[in-house]
Structure 1
Amino acid sequence: MSEHDHSGHSHSGSTKLLIVSLVFTSAYAGVEVAGGLWANSLALIADAGHMITDSLSLGIGAFAAWLSQRRASRTHTYGFARAEVIGALVNVLFMLGIVVWIVFAAFERLANPQEVGGTTVMIVAFIGLLVNVAVAWILMRGEKNMNVRAALLHVMGDLAGSVAALLAGLVIYLTGWLPIDPLLSLFISLLIGFASVNVLRDVLRVLMEGTPSHIDIDKLKRAIAEVDGVVEAHHVHVWSLSSSRHALSAQIKLDQIGLWEEVLPKLQELLQRDFGVGHSTLQPETHQEASSYSADAAARY
């Protein structure tokens, strides 16, 4: 049996981007909270809530990115790459909780409209919009792993919230129509909710050891079988260590066992190049060994 391991790409760049974004977001969070309370605007308060959760999520993301850089140990032989996925899970669940709160508060506001300071809302929301655009731009320059995607989801949600708050302030200033404030909050919350569910699905796929979404197992088996000297691959398992690191184990049936030293590097190159699998554990066997294995398995069952 032969094992081939590639270390995952360093997450130091992601850590720096998350920390810079954290500084930007935290600096403005207090200002927007005060503005939301002063103007009595749900859209602005919702946006302020997003800004606070953004700061927390970016902090979690930065810590997870830092932790994922730690080397493997006796107790964590794959290293800490999956810390990135756990950080993304915490952030997504946090975001879904905020969405539920905003939806509940929006329905309360629709039932009992309250006065909103349109001018204050527009000023604060516009500044918040600029801050969120800057933070989103910073994050989009980094590696698109799950941790950064989850943090970016928070920021994009906050950016959308700033746009909603700006529009709500403008409509209230021009027309005095108060329901626009909770209605826009509901609309933006639904968009953020759908995006959160998509990220949550990807996170759960990794945690449940699911096959990476970009890998077709049947296609992978056919590609392996096309390598000279290989008859077929079976007992193939593929899973993710993180959003950017994937692993595979398989039994490889050969024409002749003596071909293994020649076949192995070809398989490793194929898996890395065409399927992004950097860690592979491959067990060679001949026709006779595979037949014996099948007979033993049939006898047991």
Structure 2
Amino acid sequence: MAHSHDHSHDAHAANRTRLGIAIAIIGVFLVVQVVGGLLSGSLALLADAGHMAGDLLGLVIALGAAVVAARPATDRQTYGYRRFEVFGALVNGVILVVVAVTVSAGAIGRLASGAQGEVHEVAGGPMLAVAIAGLLANVVALLVLRGGAKDSINLRGAYLEVLGDTLGSALVIAAAVVILTTGWDAADPIASLAIAALIVPRALMLLRDVMRVLSQSAPAETDVAEIRDHIIGTSGVVAVHDVHVWAITTGAHVFSAHVEVEPSVFAEGRVGELLDELGGCLDDHFDVEHSTFQLEPAGRGRQEPAGHA
């Protein structure tokens, strides 16, 4: 298990480095995009800049959460501070929703004013140049973050934000090309609405994952029935009840159960051996980092109140 903890520490350190690099990339280009949006008059560029500002804030929050999560456990925080990664992902999800609503309101307002005859000229050339540079910056940031997105819900939130901004940059490029070739300036706010439409589903997916952790639901990839079958299939085990599986954060699963065993397990002093076998089974087959078993004599489960898995 020491190797597992060392690997986890290395992974957290690598994730903090990834976030720091991504923050530098996004921060530098955010200034470029805001200036480009103002000079070109492009709402889509400013919308994408707003999305990127949300990305930057989300990345900073994610980095702060990752730093706090690396702190060791204490008598007060007995599981440590890794749950702060989930709180960081929650804030990121809320930021994504706010950005989507703000972008949509601006785009609808510009379309409405255009329908009333107001003209919003957009300089397609500068808009296209800045959008292409933005796409390249986002692709680099994505490549930096991709390595840790599967193992950390916090980093996944940051990755999804940058992914959405990458798609947003592609939409701005398309709108700039339309403006340059046809002169149809309405392509700019329409691209902004498309960017907002891309943001919302990702935000909802992230918030769903956050709520699954905060509500202590069994992790989506965990089959509780299969875990129960493995335990019951262990030599000396008669039954299992009061089963609980949840996650502190992504990849940090916790398990507890009451396990009824044959009388010989206690009589022959095989309690420690059985606990090692059960813990090893959950660690090897189900990636459960922390497991707790209460060994009981056979039939004990009938004396306990119903209501547990």
TM-score range, shorter chain: over 0.9
Aligned residue in 2 for 1:133: 139
Deviation at 1:143, TM superposition (A): 5.1
Aligned residue in 2 for 1:277: 288
**Which one scores higher on RCO, CA 8 angstroms, separation ≥ 6?**
1
Q: Does 1:287 align with 2:298?
A: yes
SS at match of 1:251: strand
Greater mean deviation of Cα atoms: 13-22 or 49-58: 49-58
Alignment RMSD (CA, Å)? 1.7
Is the CA contact 2:241–2:301 (under 8 Å) kept in the aligned structure 1? no
Aligned residue in 2 for 1:167: 174
Is the CA contact 1:19–1:62 (under 8 Å) kept in the aligned structure 2? yes
Alignment of 1:1-301 (within 5 A): 7=5, 9-10=8-9, 11-113=12-114, 114-142=120-148, 144=150, 145-256=152-263, 257-258=265-266, 259-291=270-302, 293-294=303-304, 297=305
Deviation at 1:9, TM superposition (A): 1.1
Please list every run of 5 or more consecutive structure 1 residues that lacks an aligned counterpart in the other structure: 1-5
Is the CA contact 1:96–1:196 (under 8 Å) kept in the aligned structure 2? yes
* Alpha-carbon distance in 1 for matches of 2:40, 2:113: 16
Is the CA contact 2:149–2:159 (under 8 Å) kept in the aligned structure 1? no
* Alpha-carbon distance in 2 for matches of 1:143, 1:88: 12
Give the TM-score taking structure 2 as reference length. 0.90
* Alpha-carbon distance in 1 for matches of 2:154, 2:105: 28
Give the TM-score taking structure 1 as reference length. 0.92
Greater mean deviation of Cα atoms: 259-268 or 232-241: 259-268
Greater mean deviation of Cα atoms: 17-26 or 224-233: 224-233
Residue identity over aligned pairs, in percent, reads 38
CA-to-partner distance for each residue in 1:6-37, whole Å, 9 max, x for gaps? Answer: 74812111001100110111111111101111
* Alpha-carbon distance in 1 for matches of 2:143, 2:300: 56
SS at match of 1:264: helix
Deviation at 1:288, TM superposition (A): 4.1
Aligned residue pairs total 291
Please list every run of 5 or more consecutive structure 2 residues that lacks an aligned counterpart in the other structure: 115-119
Query: Stretches of 4+ moved more than 6 A in 1?
Result: none
Is the CA contact 2:247–2:254 (under 8 Å) kept in the aligned structure 1? yes
* Alpha-carbon distance in 2 for matches of 1:220, 1:214: 12
